[in-house]
Amino acid sequence: MKIAVVGTGYVGLVTGTCFAETGNIVTCVDIDQEKIKKLSSGQITMYEPGLENLFLRNQKEGRLMFTQSLSDAINGAEIIFLALPTPPGEDGAADLKYILGVAEDLGKLIKPTDYKVIIDKSTVPVGTAEKVKNVILQSSAKVLDVGKNLSNAFDVVSNPEFLREGVAVEDFMKPDRVVIGTKSPRAIKIMNELYAPFVRQGNPIIFMDEQSAELTKYAANAFLAVKISFMNEIAQMCERLGADVDMVRKGIGSDERIGKRFLFPGIGYGGSCFPKDVQALAKSADEVDYDFQILDAVMKVNKEQKLHLIPKINSFYSNNLSGKHFAIWGLAFKPNTDDVREAPAFVIIDELLNAGATVSVFDPEAMKNTEYVYGNKITFAQNQYDALRNADALIIATEWNEFRTPDFEKISAALKSNAIFDGRNLFENSQMENLGFHYESVGRKAITTLRK
């Protein structure tokens, strides 16, 4: 099948590459000239495990192309994916200007005799498929001859994306489920064919109406944000009551109704999805006069959780961070990505700089994206140990695997205060106690042994 993917960011590039991998001819289009230039010349524009190989192979085989022209991209393509940004507007609602702008352009390009399925992969509020359809019809009416229209020339389908950054290729190639919102038999047939190679193990393609598909995506992300925030609140209780959140996590996670995943406490969720999607769902609720109380609590809990380590650090240094130097390991909002959008590490950096401290950072993939934000306000280290040079303490903000079993001798020798503030609970308390660190984490007893 011939496919156009509009928007070549995280979702668009993974979508385009994975559909090319199953033999389709894919053209990805983006308005970002630099991005298209790089991709066209075989340079990948983001870090995502496993993606580069697929990208290079399919590009070489002529199944994956890049262009800046929407018209070229959709020419001959029966399938058009929209993988466009839906950032929060000023009021917190999803801003649909990118999606509706492209819908307007599509209305002028689609021909009445040339059927297309337009598939919305972006995360959008309920009613967006209907809006896209209306904008296309209205825009086409401006260019079509009298008596002609596009009413039988296209269907708009909602196909929310559930991939997780860091394991996006795996998630896309073997999805737990594919959700498709459409009532059009023609679109259903095409979507079934398109996704068949991805569900060979028997995972379901769930067909539903457009509205339910649109809400499913928000419900999924909001539920996960609730789960994380709930555990973060349990961690707060553990610290106050002397319980150990790791034990509580294992104790509840073995209950099948609860499940083991998404129960790890930490310094809050970030990224390009959960924060904006929780906010957008709350706004959608407002618009239909429903007070979605859990969501307000989740947003509040998460904002506070990002600051969780700060009072601990302040207290350790008697509320005087001026002149102190901190090493931070981990900048990306989670491991295996270079995405720093809404990253908890940035909240910590801001707090430390405001308090008069200085900061050295290291992240295996997110250094460049962090440099765009902080420039020379912080020091960018060559590796995780280089970040420790002249540092008073180490702060861990992202749970990269390579931070899990570090050389503690090296850490101890470098740190002036021998203190580690761990926002991701990477190490065991007993181990830290034996090694003589001052060690504070999330939802567990503080280890206050001091060797220096």
Ligand X SMILES: NC(=O)c1ccc[n+]([C@@H]2O[C@H](COP(=O)([O-])OP(=O)(O)OC[C@H]3O[C@@H](n4cnc5c(N)ncnc54)[C@H](O)[C@@H]3O)[C@@H](O)[C@H]2O)c1
Give the separation between CA 280 and CA 218, rounded to whole angstroms: 8
Strand-pairing partners, residue 206, are 179
| Nearest distance in Å: CB 379, ligand X | 28
| CB of 45 or CB of 429, closer to ligand X | 45
| Single-letter residue type at 430 | S
Complete DSSP assignment for 378-423: SEEPSSTTGGGTT-SEEEE-S--GGGSS--HHHHHHH-SS-EEEET
284 near ligand X (CB under 6 A): no
| Nearest distance in Å: CB 231, ligand X | 21
Task: Of 243, 359, 241, 347, give the one whose Cα is nearest residue 304.
Answer: 347
Instruction: Determine contact, residues 381/387, Cβ cutoff 8 Å.
Output: yes
Selected range binding ligand X among 8-16, 106-114, 198-206, 325-333, rule: CB under 6 A: 8-16
Selected range binding ligand X among 9-17, 188-196, 406-414, 442-450, rule: CB under 6 A: 9-17
Task: Of 167, 271, 169, give the one whose Cα is nearest residue 225.
Answer: 271
| Nearest distance in Å: CB 430, ligand X | 36
Selected range binding ligand X among 96-104, 142-150, 186-194, 388-396, rule: CB under 6 A: 96-104
Selected range binding ligand X among 95-103, 234-242, 244-252, 347-355, rule: CB under 6 A: 95-103
| Nearest distance in Å: CB 66, ligand X | 11
- Tokens matching residue 395: 């702060």
| Nearest distance in Å: CB 264, ligand X | 19
| CB of 212 or CB of 412, closer to ligand X | 212
Strand order, beta sheet including 325-329: 379-380, 358-362, 325-329, 393-396, 419-422, 438-440
| Nearest distance in Å: CB 195, ligand X | 16
| Nearest distance in Å: CB 347, ligand X | 20
Residue from 21, 161, 214, 399 touching ligand X (CB under 6 A): that is 161
Residue from 163, 340, 347, 435 touching ligand X (CB under 6 A): that is 163
Selected range binding ligand X among 3-11, 318-326, 361-369, 444-452, rule: CB under 6 A: 3-11
Phi/psi for 438 (5° steps) reads: -85, 120
| CB of 339 or CB of 392, closer to ligand X | 339
Task: Of 114, 55, 426, 68, give the one whose Cα is nearest residue 246.
Answer: 426
136 near ligand X (CB under 6 A): no
Query: Which residues participate in catalysis according to the annotation?
Result: 273
Residue from 86, 236, 425, 441 touching ligand X (CB under 6 A): that is 86
Residue from 4, 12, 305, 398 touching ligand X (CB under 6 A): that is 12
| Nearest distance in Å: CB 158, ligand X | 12
Residue whose token pair is 């929060």? 88
Give the separation between CA 267 and CA 274, rounded to whole angstroms: 14
165 near ligand X (CB under 6 A): yes
Task: Of 351, 345, 443, give the one whose Cα is nearest residue 395.
Answer: 345
Complete DSSP assignment for 214-242: HHHHHHHHHHHHHHHHHHHHHHHHHHHHT
Residue from 85, 89, 197, 436 touching ligand X (CB under 6 A): that is 85
| CB of 35 or CB of 324, closer to ligand X | 35
What mask, x for binding ligand X by CB under 6 A, covers residues 23 to 42?
------xxxx--x-------
Whole-angstrom CA distances from 347 to 268, 352, 374 are 11, 9, 12
| CB of 75 or CB of 429, closer to ligand X | 75
Task: Of 130, 406, 165, 143, give the one whose Cα is nearest residue 271.
Answer: 165
* First-to-final CA distance of the chain: 66
Residues that bind ligand X (rule: CB under 6 A) add up to a total of 26
Strand order, beta sheet including 2-6: 64-67, 25-29, 2-6, 79-82, 116-120, 154-158, 178-181, 205-208
Residue from 273, 349, 352, 426 touching ligand X (CB under 6 A): that is 273
Q: Segment 97-126, which members bind ligand X (CB under 6 A)?
A: 98, 101-102, 122-123
Sites of contact with ligand X (CB under 6 A): 6-12, 29-32, 35, 83-86, 98, 101-102, 122-123, 161, 163, 165, 272-273
